[in-house]
Amino acid sequence: EIVLTQSPSTLSLSPGERATLSCRASQSVSSNYLAWYQQKPGQAPRFLIYGASSRATGIPDRFSGSGSGTDFTLTISRLEPEDFAVYYCQQYGSSPLYSFGQGTNLEIK
Amino acid sequence: EVQLVESGGGLVKPGGSLRLSCAASGFTFSNAWMSWVRQGPGKGLEWVGRIKSKTGGGTTDYAAPVKGRFTVSRDDSINTLYLQMNSLKMEDTGVYYCAAGDYGGFHIWGQGTMVSVSS
């Protein structure tokens, strides 16, 4: 079973700062099968990144993804007020078929 | 407009059953792999089950906690996805989302429907 561990659990930053969120897998994950989502309170998740580094349609270029193997990163270059939310990484694999990290809460400092 | 709209949530007693529906519009539903994802109160996201498109084989897969109790199905003639939930437990409580996407991720999400399992 592949387990995704996100760090930190909570990240406190100010608008304009750079955010770096980590996602570590217990086994190697194909880069093609690693995605990131943003979720705001009371809303459905929003698809941000697929294939570890490709932005989904309509996602601003301040969002970028990187990594391979077991270590992946979501970077937000300059935080906007609307970026404060919970972020999840997700992988597609054999067991379970899909799994999510526990989330990183990006909060305003 | 690309849209997924869930319905059918509600309050049910432990051991009871519920069927959720998800109506799709704005994209070719029959070609889409569809999943159900749930979120317990104050918790993270948990994948529940998936059904491939008919051309992809139409097969289903389930997460271990729901296997044997939940069934995902689809009716491509009316662009609708279903989740039949039987033998419900308190830990099945949460918001249930339908989502479209394959191994690359879930690029379309519904707004969710709440399921509460309580005596």
Q: Which of A50, A51, A100 sits opposite B45 (nearest CB)?
A: A100
B47–A99 C-beta distance less than 8 A: yes
What is the per-residue pLDDT across A2-51, written as a single tens digit (0 to 9) for each? 999 999 999 999 999 999 999 999 999 987 899 999 999 999 999 999 99
The pLDDT, as a whole number, for residue A30 is 84
Q: Cβ–Cβ of A96/B64 closer than 8 Å? A: yes
Q: Comparing C-alpha atoms, which of A25, A48, A29 is closest to residue B101?
A: A48
Q: CB within 8 A of B17, min separation 6: which ones? A: B84, B85, B86, B87, B88
Distance from CA of A101 to the nearest CA of B (A): 8
Model pLDDT, residue B34? 98
Residues present in chain B in total: 119
Residues of A whose CB is below 8 A from B94? none
CA-based nearest residue in chain A for residue B97: A44
Cβ–Cβ < 8 Å for A95, A29: no
Residue A1 confidence (pLDDT) above 90: no
Average pLDDT over residues B56-63: 95
